[in-house]
C-alpha cells in the first residue's frame, strides 16, 4: 500500500509541473519564476528585461503589423494619415477608410449604405430635409409636406399648400412676419421671434437658446463628431430627433 501511494503522488507532481505559457504582454520569466518560459501566442516571444522580469512581446518584425491589424478604427473616426500608426481599416464592415488629405482619412459609410439610409430616412414635419452636405433623404415622411429650399444650408419640410383648410394666425419659422407694406400675420410660432432683416422684410427665426440649451438644428445626440452635450438639451420649442445611432438633431416640434 505504501508503494502504490508513492507512485500516485509522483504522477500528480509531474502533471502539475507541465509548462503554463503566458498571455500577450504579461510576465513569462524571472528569478524564481514557477511557470513555463513561453508565450501562448506564436507571434510573441519571451523577452528578458532584467533578472527579475521577462515579458511576452511581439516578435520584432511583426510588432507594428500585428498592432495595426488589431486596431481598426471606429465609425466616423480617423483611419489613416501621415505617420498613422494603426490599421488602415474600419471595424464596421459597412464602412470604408476614405481619403480626405495627406493627414486624414475617415471611416465613412460605403456608398451603398448611404444610398439605403438616404432612401429610408425622410424628415419629420417642419424639420430639415436638405442642405449643404445633408446626409439623409431629400424627402418628407408626410405626403402633405414637401421639402422646400430656404438657402444653400437649409431646406424644410413644409405643407404643400399653406392655409389649406384654415386660417393661419401664427407665422412659421423662416417665414415673413413683417416689413413695409406687409399685410400678413406678425406673431411667430412658439420658440421663434420676428427678426428685422431690412425695412421691407422681417423673418421668424428661432429664439436664441439659453446657456444650458442647444440651438435649433444643432447636434443633440449620437456618436458622430465625438459629441458630448455637456448637460445641455434642446430648446423647449424643439425636440431631439434621432436619425440613427450616429446623429441626432434639435428640430422644431
Q: What is the pLDDT of residue 164?
A: 46
Does 217 share its domain with 252? yes
Does 99 share its domain with 122? no
Does 127 share its domain with 154? yes
Does 114 share its domain with 139? yes
Does 95 share its domain with 130? no
The domain in which residue 142 lies consists of 110-160
Evaluate whether residue 233 is within a structural domain: yes
Does 102 share its domain with 142? no
Residues of the chain where predicted confidence (pLDDT) is lower than 70:
1-18, 61-70, 112-120, 161-168
Q: What is the pLDDT of residue 29?
A: 94
Evaluate whether residue 101 is within a structural domain: yes
CA distance 131 to 147: 11
Evaluate whether residue 32 is within a structural domain: no
Q: Could you tell me which residues come within 8 angstroms of residue 19 by beta carbon, excluding any fewer than 6 positions away?
A: 35, 36, 37, 38
Please give the backbone phi and psi of residue 47, each rounded to the nearest 5 degrees, phi first.
Answer: -100, 130
Does 184 share its domain with 150? no
Evaluate whether residue 33 is within a structural domain: no
Does 100 share its domain with 132? no
Q: What is the pLDDT of residue 62?
A: 56
Evaluate whether residue 37 is within a structural domain: no
Three-class DSSP labels, the chain: CHHHHHHHHHHHHHHHCCCCCECCCCEEECCCCCCCCCECCCCEEEEEEECCEEEEEECHHHHHHHHHHHCCECCCCEEECCCCCCCCCECCCCEEEEEEECCEEEEEECHHHHHHHHHHCCECCCCEEECCCCCCCCCECCCCEEEEEEECCEEEEEECCCCCCCCCCCECCCCEEECCCCCCCCCECCCEEEEEEECCEEEEEECCCCCCEECCCCEEECCHHHCCCCCCEECCCEEEEEEECCEEEEEEC
Evaluate whether residue 199 is within a structural domain: yes
- Total domains in the fold of the chain: 4
Evaluate whether residue 38 is within a structural domain: no
Evaluate whether residue 218 is within a structural domain: yes
Does residue 38 contact residue 54 with C-beta atoms inside 8 Å? no
Dump pLDDT digits (tens) for 106-139: 888 887 655 555 555 788 888 888 888 888 888 8
| pTM beyond 0.85, yes or no | no
Q: Which residues of 3-35 are buried (b: 16+ CB within 10 A; e: fewer)?
A: eeeeeeeeeeeeeeeeeebbeeeebbbeeeeee
CA distance 75 to 110: 11
Longest Cα–Cα distance of the chain, Å, equals: 117
Amino acid at each position: 500500500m505504501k508503494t502504490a501511494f508513492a507512485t500516485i503522488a509522483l504522477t500528480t507532481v509531474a502533471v502539475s509541473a507541465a509548462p503554463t505559457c503566458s498571455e500577450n504582454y504579461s510576465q513569462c520569466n524571472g528569478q524564481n519564476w514557477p511557470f513555463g518560459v513561453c508565450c501562448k501566442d506564436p507571434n510573441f516571444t519571451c523577452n528578458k528585461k532584467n533578472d527579475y522580469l521577462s515579458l511576452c512581446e511581439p516578435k520584432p518584425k511583426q510588432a507594428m503589423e500585428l498592432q495595426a491589424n488589431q486596431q481598426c478604427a471606429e465609425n466616423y473616426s480617423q483611419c489613416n494619415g501621415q505617420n498613422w500608426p494603426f490599421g488602415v481599416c474600419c471595424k464596421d464592415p459597412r464602412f470604408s477608410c476614405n481619403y480626405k488629405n495627406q493627414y486624414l482619412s475617415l471611416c465613412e459609410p460605403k456608398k451603398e449604405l448611404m444610398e439605403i439610409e438616404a432612401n429610408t430616412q425622410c424628415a419629420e414635419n417642419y424639420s430639415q430635409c436638405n442642405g449643404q452636405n445633408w446626409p439623409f433623404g431629400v424627402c418628407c415622411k408626410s405626403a402633405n409636406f414637401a421639402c422646400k429650399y430656404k438657402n444653400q444650408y437649409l431646406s424644410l419640410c413644409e405643407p404643400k399648400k399653406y392655409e389649406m383648410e384654415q386660417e393661419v394666425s401664427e407665422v412659421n419659422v423662416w417665414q415673413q412676419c413683417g416689413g413695409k407694406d406687409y399685410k400678413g400675420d406678425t406673431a411667430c410660432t412658439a420658440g421663434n421671434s420676428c427678426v428685422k432683416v431690412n425695412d421691407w422684410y422681417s423673418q421668424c427665426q428661432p429664439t436664441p437658446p439659453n446657456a444650458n440649451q442647444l440651438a435649433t438644428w444643432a447636434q443633440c445626440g449620437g456618436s458622430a463628431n465625438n459629441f458630448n452635450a455637456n448637460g445641455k438639451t434642446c430648446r423647449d420649442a424643439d425636440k431631439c430627433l434621432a436619425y440613427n445611432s450616429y446623429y441626432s438633431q434639435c428640430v422644431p416640434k
